[in-house]
Amino acid sequence: MESFLAQPPVQSALAPFVASLVLAVALLRAPARWQGLAIVAGLLLAVLLILGPALTPLTSTRKIVVASLGLPLLAMALDLSPLRWRTGVGIVVFAAVLALLWVLWPVLMRGAPGEDVLLGGGLALYVAALLMVFARLGQCCARLAGAALGVAVATGVAAVLAASALYGQLAFALAAAVGGLTALRLWRPGLEGGAGCFGLGGAMAVAVPLALLGASASVYARLPVMALPLLALSPLLALAPLATQRPAWLRVVVAGLLSLAPSAGAVYLTWQVAGAGAAGY
Amino acid sequence: MSLSLSKTLKTAAVALALCALPAMAAADTYTIDPSHTYPNFKIDHLGFSTLHGRFNKTTGRMSMDRAKGTGSVEIVIDAASIDTGHGKRDDHLRSPDFFNVMEFPQITFTSDTVKYVGEGATVTGDLTIMGVTRSVTLEVPRINCGTHPFNKKEVCGFNATTRIKRSDFGMNYGLPGIGDEVSLDIEVEAFKD
């Protein structure tokens, strides 16, 4: 059993997909805004299998995990609160930028003062942009599912090429968790249009880990910084008008393909800069 | 009479001073020679073979006083200088999956105690990898000191070995396929200051 659970396809695909699906089934009767918990559960199981349960030593990777699991819960709480949606988004974006600085602190501390501001500021912009786009997508469920799948897979491939199989596994696990929830929502048509709305919590369950993984890979791994604008552009294309009368699964696929186009550019750029990375030997 | 007493006192003073000299002598200090000091490691790879690697950049200082039975070693290893003979693998080892060298650029060893045993020594101290410090004991079978035949400087050298578990330092990725136990063999040469 231990060797089975140690297989990367199990850790990054099967386990998070099943965990997300199981919790999504459990939450079928709950309000749609709770559905994002399924994604969090899938990612959590993947983290336990890949990294283990220990939070110490509190390396940058574990900080990413803490923020990726905690901030969606904050977003869910804000979604359920009387606060306006935009205020909730603003608070989560601010918290995510703080989380980014926390993750990158060892590097920012060592750099020259001007370099810190440039690096930290640029990456904070990337995180904020990605979160705001996904928050917008969270209001249209098929788009969010498609964009999440496309960007997560692309981030995973780029991370592996950038020499971090660990970051890649976490991104793939996120895609699998989104897949589990989406599969259930598509299978039960009539539930909020098929691919149900994930709410701010669900959107942030996708956006926060992707943003932190991408930004961190440009510092701690070999992801070229120029790949980040392409990754940030990817979910934007999923905002293109999609005919609502089309089947939900088709809208998910179209949104996914639209978001894959610039993501593929990010992957190609990474391949050119870093070569085959962690997949190359 | 007074002349004889004065002479005796002077002789006694000189004798006392000569006896005190060894106690007052400082330990010999050495600077690590980076071009002849390499921490080597080996680790099981998927149960198929043993992977060998080393770190190419090391600095440090040490001191030895065999008469007093004391000494110290301080080594700083550039984590990014890891070299397993394969560029892509080395990039992977530098990534967050393993050493995360951007976050933890240095590996350090600072000795607590040095115990001379025969021609060698046992050195116990703190090894810090990825921000985690653990006590380790290095076995040094033999310390070789002499005059370098080319630059005529006094040099001491030895090999220090130990075994550690990478998981003790928070490096869990790839377990159990990539081994947990790591054998360290640190070859050291240092010139006397």
Predicted confidence (pLDDT) at residue B3 exceeds the cutoff of 90 = no
Report the C-alpha gap between B177 and B150 in whole angstroms. 46
Q: Which pLDDT band, with edges at 50, 70 and 90, does A34 fall under?
A: confident
Q: Is the CB of residue A219 less than 8 Å away from at least one CB of chain B?
A: yes
The answer for B 77-96 residues in CB contact with A (under 8 A) is 86, 88-89, 91-92, 94-96
Picking from A164, A167, A169, A219 by the largest number of B CB atoms within 10 A of its own CB, the best residue to mutate is A164
The pLDDT tens digits of the residues spanning B6-42 come to: 666 666 555 555 554 444 457 899 999 999 999 999 9
Residue A3: its pLDDT value, please? 82
- Restricting to A residues 144-163, those with a Cβ less than 8 Å away from any Cβ of B are 162-163
Reported as a pLDDT band with limits 50, 70 and 90, residue A268 is very high
Q: Above 80 in pLDDT, residue A173?
A: yes
pLDDT of residue A116: 79
What is the pLDDT averaged over residues B53-73?
A: 95
Residue A281, pLDDT above cutoff 70: no
Using the predicted structure, report yes or no on whether residue A204 has a pLDDT greater than 90: yes
Sign of the C-alpha dihedral computed for residues A4, A7, A10 and A15 taken in this order: positive
Compare all CA atoms of chain B with the CA of A279 and give the residue at the minimum distance.
B88
Predicted confidence at residue B8, as pLDDT, reads 65
Best residue of B82, B95, B169, B173 to probe chain A, by most A CBs closer than 10 Å: B95
Contacts of residue A107, defined as CB under 8 A and 6 or more positions apart, other chains included, come to A119, A219, A220, B102, B103
Q: Residue B175's closest CA among A220, A166, A175?
A: A166
Locate the domains of chain B by residue range: 27-192
Indicate the number of domains in chain A. 1
d(CA A101, CA A124): 8
Inspect the interface and report whether the beta carbons of B175 and A106 lie closer than 8 Å.
Answer: no
Q: What is the pLDDT of residue A191?
A: 45
* Distance of alpha carbon A28 from the chain centroid: 23
- CB atoms A220 and B176 under 8 Å: no
Check A276 against B94: CB less than 8 A apart.
no
pLDDT for A193 equals: 45
State the pLDDT at residue B22.
47
Give me the mean pLDDT over the A86-113 stretch: 93
The answer to whether B130 contacts chain A (CB < 8 Å) is: yes
The mean pLDDT of chain A is 89
Is pLDDT at B185 greater than 90 in this prediction? yes
Query: Which residues, other chains included, contact B51 with Cβ-Cβ below 8 Å and sequence gap of 6+?
Result: B42, B43, B44, B45, B84
State which residue of chain A sits closest to B168, comparing Cα positions.
A57
pLDDT at B11: 61
Query: pLDDT band at residue A30, thresholds of 50, 70 and 90?
Result: confident
Q: What percent of chain A has pLDDT over 70?
A: 94
Question: Which residue type does B10 have?
Answer: K
Confidence of residue A33 (pLDDT cuts 50, 70, 90): confident
Which pLDDT score, from 0 to 100, does residue B72 have?
95
What does the pLDDT read at residue A1?
Answer: 84
Q: How far is A20 from chain B, CA to nearest CA, in Å?
A: 24
Q: What is the pLDDT of residue A22?
A: 96
Nearest residue of chain A to residue B133 (CA atoms): A57
In this structure, what token pair is assigned to residue B56? 């190419």
* 8 Å CB contact of B103 and A167: no
Model ipTM value = 0.89
CB pairs under 8 A between A and B: 79
- C-alpha–C-alpha distance, residues A151 and A154, integer Å: 5
CA distance A163 to A186: 35
Question: Residue A276: its pLDDT value, please?
Answer: 61
Q: Which among B88, B95, B102 has the least Cβ separation from residue A107? A: B102
DSSP conformational letter for A277: G
pLDDT single digits (tens) A156-169: 999 999 999 999 99
pLDDT(B120) > 90:
yes
Nearest-Cα distance to chain B for A274, in Å, is 9
- Is residue A247 within 8 Å of residue A87, measured between CB atoms? no
Cross-chain residue pair A166–B173, CB shorter than 8 Å? yes
Residue of chain A with shortest Cα separation from B131: A57
Residue A72 belongs to domain spanning: 2-279
Q: What is the mean pLDDT of residues B134-139?
A: 98
A111-120, A193-202, A264-273, B165-174: range with lowest mean pLDDT? A193-202
Contacts of B48 in chain A (CB under 8 A): none
Q: Which of B95, B103, B177 sits opposite A107 (nearest CB)?
A: B103
Determine the residue of chain B that is closest to A223 in CA distance.
B95
- Cross-chain residue pair B104–A106, CB shorter than 8 Å: yes
Over residues B98-124, mean pLDDT:
96
Q: Which CATH architecture has domain B27-192?
A: Beta Barrel (2.40)
Render pLDDT for A215-252 as a digit per residue (tens, 0 to 9).
999 999 999 999 999 999 999 998 887 767 778 888 88
A166 with B91: Cβ contact below 8 A: no
